[in-house]
Structure 1
Amino acid sequence: MAKSLNTKVEYTEKATSMMGLGTYGDVMLGDVAFEFYNEKNTEDFIQIPWSEVDYVAAEVLPGKKIARFAIFTKENGHYTFSTRDNKATLRAMRGHVPDDKLQKSPNVFQVMKAGVRSLSHLGR
């Protein structure tokens, strides 16, 4: 059984980890870390201390619905999650991640526009 980094739990929610194939489990936000525990295998877990979080990017769909969010760490890349209530999960993160580190990820059109702009600069 994995040992939690948190001494106090502030928020829990059913979630899916999007690392490789989707893994179902529980997200736990506490005073020390963001934690994900696989519901079938307790030894399969992700623990991200708040001090290691660089920023959080959320995919916002029309109607202000949040499909998923990614936590970018300072050293270990990024981890993508989707909870039953992503908006409430991100609100619970606000106490640990500054507002300027909670970002909206670019949508498909913004990515394509940036790609076309970068291609137009290659010819110069």
Structure 2
Amino acid sequence: MVQSLNTKVDLVVKATSYQGLTDYGKIMVGDKGFEFYNERDANNFIQIPWEEVDYVIASVMFKGKKIPRYAIQTKKNGTYSFASKEPKEVLRAIRKYVDPSRMVRSLSFLDVIKRGMKNIFKR
């Protein structure tokens, strides 16, 4: 059985992890870190301490009305993508422990296209 990082849990929500294959489970936001536990396999889990979090990236649609996915970029181990039933509540719980200036929006589809066109014409 896996030992949790957290001593106090703020939020537990059903979620999906997009690491390799899609995994379904629960996200736990607590005082020591962010945790994802798979429903079926107890050995399949992700634990990210707050000291390791570099950025929290949210994919925002329709001027903030819908947040389909969010990602946590760590200082050493890359980016972990998640989706949950209540993404706004998860991001609010994360905001207690991560500096709000480190919580950013991802680029929209049109922003990616514009950036690509600028790079093509710069050459």
What is the CA–CA distance in structure 2 between the aligned matches of 1:106 and 1:29, rounded to whole Å?
A: 25
| 1:63-109 Cα deviation digits (max 9, x unpaired) | 52100000000000000000101011000111111110010000110
Provide the aligned C-alpha RMSD in A: 0.7
Instruction: Give the C-alpha shift of residue 22 in structure 1.
Output: 1.1
Structure 1 segment 34-73 matched on structure 2, within 5 A: 34-64=34-64, 65-73=66-74
Identity of aligned residues (%): 48
Find runs of 4+ consecutive structure 1 residues off by over 6 angstroms. none
Give the structure-1-normalised TM-score: 0.96
Give the structure-2-normalised TM-score: 0.97
Counterpart residue type for residue 78 of structure 2 = G
Number of positions where the alignment pairs a residue of Structure 1 with one of Structure 2: 122
Structure 1 segment 32-111 matched on structure 2, within 5 A: 32-64=32-64, 65-111=66-112
Counterpart residue type for residue 3 of structure 2 = K
What is the CA–CA distance in structure 1 between the aligned matches of 2:44 and 2:10, rounded to whole Å?
A: 22
Unaligned runs of 5+ in 1: none
